[in-house]
Structure 1
Amino acid sequence: MIKITKLEAELTGKVDKLMMENESLKAQVDLLLNKIYGRSREKGSYLDENQLALFNDEDLNIFNEPEIASDPNSEEPEMVEVIKKKRKSKHDNINNTVPIKEVECFLEGEDCQCEWCNSELRPIGREEVRREIEYIPATLQVKVYIRHAYECPTCKADGEDVIVKSKTPKPVIPKSIASPSAVAWLLHQKYEQYMPFNRQKSEWKRAGIELSRTTMANWAIKVSKDYLAPLYESLRKELLKNHILFADETTVQVLKEKDRKPTSKSYMWLYRTRDYIDREIVLYDYQATRGSIHPKTFLADFKGFLHSDGYDAYNDLPNITRVGCLAHLRRKFHEAIPKGDAPVTASKAKEGRNYCDKLFNLEKKWHSLSTEERYKKRQTKLRPVFEAFFTWIEGVHVLPSSLLGKAITYAKNQKEYLMNVLLDGDLHLSNNLAERSIRPLVMGRKAWYFSTSTDGALSSAITYSIIQTAKANGLDAFKYLTYLFEQMPNTENFTDESVMETFYPWNPDVQAKCQ
């Protein structure tokens, strides 16, 4: 046996420690380089379309859209030739609500004579040759309301003037040229198409009207305060009646916040119901900070389960059981898989990711089961995998500062919350639903970068909420906003709870008019 001195032992220990630290730093550099230049799609046995918001982000791709999507060898899409009466093709997915204009092609003049005997040809039938889509740009029209006056001739003969004027609809914004459809359209363009007001300005000018950014911003804030905010508060009460909610948050920049620098980070908090229920609700809440006081205030009247990521602001909410996100943990194991020569780390990281995949794959099989059946399956099938997973977690010993070490630490800290999914058959393994719902706001943020004022940020949160809730309930958001701005100004006491219910997205009348 070779004996080593105390100094040699110390040096060997230091070398081992430095090698582990070097491996950890190398993994962090690889991760950062991959986020900047590489594709972030997480490959593995678990592939779920619901992970798009969490695992797929091509915003940092160095190629532009034509370079990514173009294919010189691809064939031009063709419309299938069919007989009209038996048309079944939905090639290129043309919606059947799109109006159809037929272009009749007749023989005329000499072409209508037989080339052999010069007799006049007679029609024997018609056939459809092809279909094309035609784009018709949006147009504006000025709507002039003319009120008629009436008098009573009998009273006038008696020396009394009795004049009655016809009623006109109340405007969405008093003393303004704004119409319900115009305001709805600019909100649709900004919050669904991510077109900031400065770009909309040129579009309105092309259509024939000069609208300043200030005017558009004033319209947006005005209708938000007068009409959408009361609806938002009513929907918030409905949201809190559910027993399962999802939460997330993202940053926004507001230039003019009291006692804060323009560069300070503010936050949009998201709260939403489950999907595939009769009354889906998606609400955003603008706040200046990321403090736990905000979810505590917003959810003060809520009792039940709350899905979230690992942010500890959600941990100590009264009357709420937090449910963790397995997708976040899976991502950490995926990021811990090194690209270089680190077989031990790679093996452990892949093993952790495989446990997550197994849990997701089991859950996927039970998607169509009832709540009770899924609950039973989770107790007999999912619980043993969870227990084996966390037993394995306890046996992994790596440098805490390494990516794998961080994944292990995260798993240990989130164990209680991840296991809470076993408490109810309607709970989800991940918070991907909230991740997807926060994405429209993130896309909008990339388009206009910041809000100028707190009023603007609050207006954005409310408008996003109404639009996304409408879409979650199968409505056309533009039609829904137009409907609200037409009906609310002309409805007495529309803020009363009983009246407000008639404006909910799931109301049968609203469904019939706004899909």
Structure 2
Amino acid sequence: MTKQEELLMLRALVAKQKEELEQKDKTIEKQNIRIENMIQALLHARQKLFGKSTEVTEHIPGQMNLFSTTQDLAKELFHEQKKITVPAHQRKTRQPGVRAEMLASLPKDIDEYIINPEEVCSTCGGKLKVIGKRLIRTEVEFIPARLKVVQIVQQIAKCTECGTGKNDNPKDHFQKAAIPSSVLPHSIATASLVAQVMYQKFMMGIPLSRQEKEWYRLGLVLPRNNMAHWVIRCSEEWLTPIYNRIHSELMKCDCLHMDETRIQCNKEEGRKASTDSFMWVIRSGASEGITASYFHYSPSRSGKVAQNLLTEFKGYLTTDAYIAYEKVDNIKRNLCWAHVRRYMIESIPLDSRGKEIPGSKGAEGRDLIDLLFKLEDEMKDLSPEIRKEKRQVASRAILDAFWSWVENTSALTTTNEKLTKALAYAANHKNYLETFLEDGRLPISNNLCEANIKPYATARRAWLFADTPKGATANAVLYTIVESAKANDLDVYEYIHHLLRIMPDIDFNNHPEMIDAYLPWSKDLPQECRLNKRIHKEFR
């Protein structure tokens, strides 16, 4: 081999090694990007688990605004086009006398401590004369629950005329006293006992397994399978008519919220116990004449479920961007800006302490969306007509600035996968995200529905799963009753107790219109079903 050939061979080897090194550098760079994205995902997951649950943005005193130029531009546009002016909100201090008003409805006992008539002056030994009394303190004493056995005895009377030849009836006639129907015939269950079981699980989130121990402490052996049977039977026979009517009334609304969350059902036919099923939730809009929530159990999350639930609905539906809602006909979709904001927050890089690293694009997007929410808060007391008019000016200016920012930021090269996802999410759903401009009644987020799901999701951590589809359906019925009662300022226990006591004696199958008097928003409900609104408002 000549020297020239050796030189060419060495050059080729060097070029090959250089190419391999460049390829390895690219691979290492990609791996570093992946590692960084994974670290950020881990930091955000830790922040969700152990950080503050509030979604309110915290601004550090003295920190420069990340997006001052666009904010200034938006504010300038607001002023030029007569931006609404609303007084700054101030939290009201608790009014004096609230404690006295709260205690006024409770029964009172007076523990009076008197001086022994034989007692003498501790200073000189002289006689004592009572000159008055004074109130030392006011306390609230807890009286533990107790159980009692009630035996239902029916009086029977015999007619003194029938069977004696004094009238046309040749046979003796026996007449029985009228008694209320049992909530569960041939059972020790009463309306109050079943209502307490339901209240403890679906309002307080106490699983039946824990309730079993508490009933035993009170002297009653009440197995959890008995309680489950009571809940399922009573929900099917007495609460389902209320449940169905709530759904039919919601379908008459113009604005609804909808979302879905998981539930595990162990004995769903043809499915593994670990397979996720779903609880669909419908909530009336804040502008509607009725206030109600509706839970529906389904093993599926397909659009067919949403389509069946909303067959009779024709109006605006506020949801997240889940594609299943596209299968629903005759609705106008209004997407949630809180979801866009969450994607932006997830794209903000965090340091090892879980604190935001200043200067990120995700923070800029979040700040713009915060302007939109702040504007909505300022307009919350306006009428829908005026709110729509103001949105066309003020909200439009913020939206134009936001979409311009999305377009410019998307053109930049970034290794932040979360930011890319957030920008794509916003851009892909631009039309539905602007639906709220069409009607002043529409919200800009689905938070109202998510707030109704939260008690269910929290309680699910305790009871974990539904054993059967019937149990899952009973869950849907009871959460519908409980969340609708809460939304209408009802005492949940008293409301359920009232329904279980009254419904067995109502012929609602032949007279379905009678159910209207027992709906959560009905004005015909007795006073004991209602919370003290003043106290409820002060302590909320």
Q: Is the 8 A contact 2:201 2:208 kept in 1?
A: yes
Measure, in 1, the Cα distance between the counterparts of 2:367 and 2:96.
44
1:357 pairs with one of 352, 360, 370: 370
1:379 to 2:382 alignment: no
What residue is the counterpart of 2:521 in the other structure? Answer: 506
Match runs of 1:208-219 below 5 Å: 208-219=219-230
TM-aligned CA deviation for residue 291 of structure 1? 0.7
What residue is the counterpart of 1:389 in the other structure? Answer: 402
1:453 to 2:465 alignment: no
What residue is the counterpart of 2:132 in the other structure? Answer: 125
2:428 pairs with one of 413, 423, 428: 413
Q: How many residues align?
A: 471
What residue is the counterpart of 2:148 in the other structure? Answer: 141
TM-aligned CA deviation for residue 321 of structure 1? 1.1
Range 272-281 or range 238-247, more displaced:
272-281
The alpha-carbon distance between structure 1 residues 35 and 493, as it changes in their structure 2 partners (threshold 3 A), is closer
1:463 to 2:471 alignment: no
Measure, in 2, the Cα distance between the counterparts of 1:242 and 1:305.
9
What residue is the counterpart of 2:446 in the other structure? Answer: 431
What residue is the counterpart of 1:54 in the other structure? Answer: none
In terms of Rg, which structure is larger?
2
Q: Is the 8 A contact 2:348 2:357 kept in 1?
A: no
CA displacement 1:456-506 (0-9 Å, x = unmatched) = 000110111011111111111110111111111112236633111111112
> Which residue identity is paired with 1:183?
V
2:282 pairs with one of 223, 248, 271: 271
Structure 1: 4+ residue segments shifted above 6 A: 5-16, 112-115, 341-345
Q: Give the % identical residues.
A: 33
Q: Is the 8 A contact 1:336 1:346 kept in 2?
A: no
The alpha-carbon distance between structure 1 residues 425 and 46, as it changes in their structure 2 partners (threshold 3 A), is farther
Match runs of 1:229-378 below 5 Å: 229-275=240-286, 277-340=288-351, 346-378=359-391
Measure, in 2, the Cα distance between the counterparts of 1:403 and 1:180.
53
Does the residue aligned with 1:374 lie in a helix, a strand or coil? helix
Structure 1 runs not aligned, ≥5 long: 48-86
Q: Is the 8 A contact 2:33 2:415 kept in 1?
A: no
CA displacement 1:429-461 (0-9 Å, x = unmatched) = 111111111011111211110111000000110
CA displacement 1:91-133 (0-9 Å, x = unmatched) = 59955422222111211232277965744524x3322100122
1:222 to 2:245 alignment: no
Does the residue aligned with 1:245 lie in a helix, a strand or coil? strand
Query: TM-score, normalising length from structure 1?
Result: 0.84
CA displacement 1:221-272 (0-9 Å, x = unmatched) = 0011101111111111100100100111111100000100111110001001
> Which residue identity is paired with 1:485?
L
Measure, in 2, the Cα distance between the counterparts of 1:347 and 1:478.
49
> Which residue identity is paired with 2:405?
W
Does the residue aligned with 1:28 lie in a helix, a strand or coil? helix
TM-aligned CA deviation for residue 152 of structure 1? 2.4
The alpha-carbon distance between structure 1 residues 250 and 93, as it changes in their structure 2 partners (threshold 3 A), is farther
The alpha-carbon distance between structure 1 residues 370 and 495, as it changes in their structure 2 partners (threshold 3 A), is farther
Does the residue aligned with 1:405 lie in a helix, a strand or coil? helix
TM-aligned CA deviation for residue 22 of structure 1? 4.9
1:101 pairs with one of 106, 109, 119: 109
> Which residue identity is paired with 2:236?
K
Q: Is the 8 A contact 1:25 1:402 kept in 2?
A: no
Measure, in 2, the Cα distance between the counterparts of 1:13 and 1:393.
28
Does the residue aligned with 1:372 lie in a helix, a strand or coil? helix
Measure, in 2, the Cα distance between the counterparts of 1:40 and 1:472.
22
> Which residue identity is paired with 2:251?
L
Range 215-224 or range 16-25, more displaced:
16-25
Does the residue aligned with 1:435 lie in a helix, a strand or coil? helix
Query: TM-score, normalising length from structure 2?
Result: 0.81
What residue is the counterpart of 1:152 in the other structure? Answer: 159
Measure, in 1, the Cα distance between the counterparts of 2:345 and 2:327.
29
TM-aligned CA deviation for residue 23 of structure 1? 4.0
TM-aligned CA deviation for residue 207 of structure 1? 1.5
What residue is the counterpart of 1:493 in the other structure? Answer: 508
Structure 2 runs not aligned, ≥5 long: 1-14, 61-94, 531-540
Query: What is the alpha-carbon root mean square deviation over aligned residues?
Result: 2.9
What residue is the counterpart of 1:172 in the other structure? Answer: 183
